[in-house]
Amino acid sequence: MSNAPAAIVVGAGIAGLTTALAMAQHGLPVRIYERAPELTEVGAGLQLSPNATRLLARLDVLDALGEHAVRPQAVALMQARSLSLLASMPLGDVGEARWNAPYLVTHRADLQSALLERARSEALIEVVTGAFVEKSELSKDGGARLHIRRNETIEDICTPLLIAADGVWSHSRRLIRSSVRSRFTGYIAWRTTLPMTAAKTALGDALAADRVTAFLDPAFHLVAYPISNGRAINLVAILPGEVPLDAWAQDADDAPLKKVLTRANPSLGRLAGAEGARWTVWPVHAVTPADAWTSPQGLALVGDAAHAVPPFAAQGAAMAIEDAVVLARLLARTPGAPAPALAAYEAARKPRVVRVARRGAFNRFTWHARGPVAFARNLVLRRRSEEALMADFDWLYGFDADAPQNL
């Protein structure tokens, strides 16, 4: 890379790679430091709603994602106990025409590879893997100093702008927040992928191969959707629980999951125990979006580092992608003087992420409802027209983070 980077990005997850691509699109050179020697991702899927895919398309990432992504035709809510349909909202062509971008589901590893492939093809982006940013500090005169461990060597570098995309367990967060730790929500996410045939054997017609299905129960919710060109299904069950360690996926004894799912409906229990199911548990952590995201000295938090939102609205990655595009657009307006752009970024993004977090909390309340609340929910959902269901998502899926009125 010939140009000195305008910014250092810590972390090559969805937030870090998208930020780098968006900055390069505005002619701003970036270097990313990623601690993992190789970018691999354990088996897990990701829903990408139109507010995210419209931005990925402009960064030429959707083409690279290509056939790895599946375009579901609907999202359905079902009662886990009776396996009966509560509501079905169209996606596919109908959703694309309404929100001007596709709703896609994919494997996280496929999105990560598509982003990385695009980043590696950009002359303005340098991706350095196996580089652990073990210390960082803001300088009084502006900018930041980083202490980077790579193999056995240590490097000290200065940057006018530090973009921290280091995820829910961000260390960079301590540079601007007094409370740096993420909060365990009391929920854990159980995740696996299964061959579609095995899932269909367990669930029969209750599982449509071309839609996103959420099975609701007071004790859990289970989301199922196709990935890998429809050959496999991604399953995520979210239920209360305890996982002591701060770590992503861990193998786990799946007996408690099977018990809860079987109690709701034996077919769901068979799904959990289907051949090839290897469940991992993920503690669901949250980071409050209401606290500071930036420092005028030259620091911006993006993605989960700023605001990890529990996955009840399936919007964490989408919010990271929106952050990235907005930050890059604003930085490009005042190159070399990031302070006003950083303030404008925080002001533009915070209300949106707070609203998304509220929607997630509402989903958690209604999806896990019991008794009269569940009864009322079912009544309302069964009576809602497709138009009313879609209209409820216009503010979320129809949003263009890069539109002038949203910056």
Ligand X SMILES: Cc1cc2nc3c(=O)[nH]c(=O)nc-3n(C[C@H](O)[C@H](O)[C@H](O)COP(=O)(O)OP(=O)(O)OC[C@H]3O[C@@H](n4cnc5c(N)ncnc54)[C@H](O)[C@@H]3O)c2cc1C
Q: Which residues contribute to the site for ligand X (CB under 6 A)?
A: 10-16, 33-36, 46-47, 132-133, 165-168, 171, 189, 191, 236, 282, 284, 303-305, 311, 314-318, 320
Cβ-based nearer residue to ligand X, 88 or 182: 182
Tokens of 77: 């809510």
Decide whether 11 or 29 has the Cβ nearer to ligand X: 11
C-alpha to C-alpha distance for 58 and 50, rounded to whole angstroms: 12
Widest pairwise Cα distance in the chain: 65
CB 9 within 8 A of CB 20: yes
CB of 281 to ligand X, least distance (A): 10
Q: Which residues pair with 33 in a beta bridge?
A: 10, 128
Tell me whether residue 7 or residue 378 sits nearer to ligand X (CB atom).
Answer: 7
Characterize 71-110 residue by residue with b for buried, 16 or more Cβ atoms within 10 angstroms of its Cβ, and e for exposed: bbbbbbbbbbeebeebbbbbbeeebbebbebbbbbbbbbb
By beta-carbon proximity to ligand X, the closer residue of 339 and 354 is: 354
Nearest residue (CB) to ligand X, 89 versus 165? 165
Residue 403, classified by CB atoms within 10 Å of its CB into exposed (0-12), middle (13-18) or buried (19+), is: exposed
Which segments of 196-277 are extended strands (E)? 211-217, 220-227, 232-240, 250-251
CA-to-CA distance for 160 and 5, rounded, in angstroms?
Answer: 9
H or E element that contains 109: helix 108-120
User: In the complex with ligand X, which residue's Cβ is closer, 322 or 378?
Assistant: 322
In contact, 357 and 291? CB cutoff 8 Å: no
Rounded to a whole number of angstroms, the minimum distance from the CB of residue 372 to ligand X is: 29
- Residue 38 one-letter amino acid: E
Which string of DSSP letters, residue by residue, matches 179-198? --S-EEEEEEEEEEEEEHHH
Compute the least distance from the CB of residue 157 to ligand X, in Å.
Answer: 13
Q: Closest separation between CB of residue 267 and ligand X, Å? A: 22
Contact assessment for residue 400 and residue 53, using Cβ atoms and an 8 Å cutoff: no
Give min distance, CB of 93 to ligand X, in A. Answer: 21
Sheet holding 144-150, edge to edge: 131-138, 144-150, 153-159
Tell me how far the alpha carbon of residue 153 is from its chain's centroid: 33
H-state helical runs in 301-337: 304-307, 316-333
Q: Which is nearer to ligand X, 36 or 407 (CB)?
A: 36
Min dist CB 392 to ligand X, Å, is 18
Q: How far is the CB of 383 from ligand X (least distance, A)?
A: 27
Cβ of residue 366: shortest distance to ligand X, in angstroms? 18
Q: Which is nearer to ligand X, 87 or 103 (CB)?
A: 103
- Closer to ligand X by CB, 109 or 378: give it: 109
User: CB 371 → ligand X: shortest distance, Å?
Assistant: 27
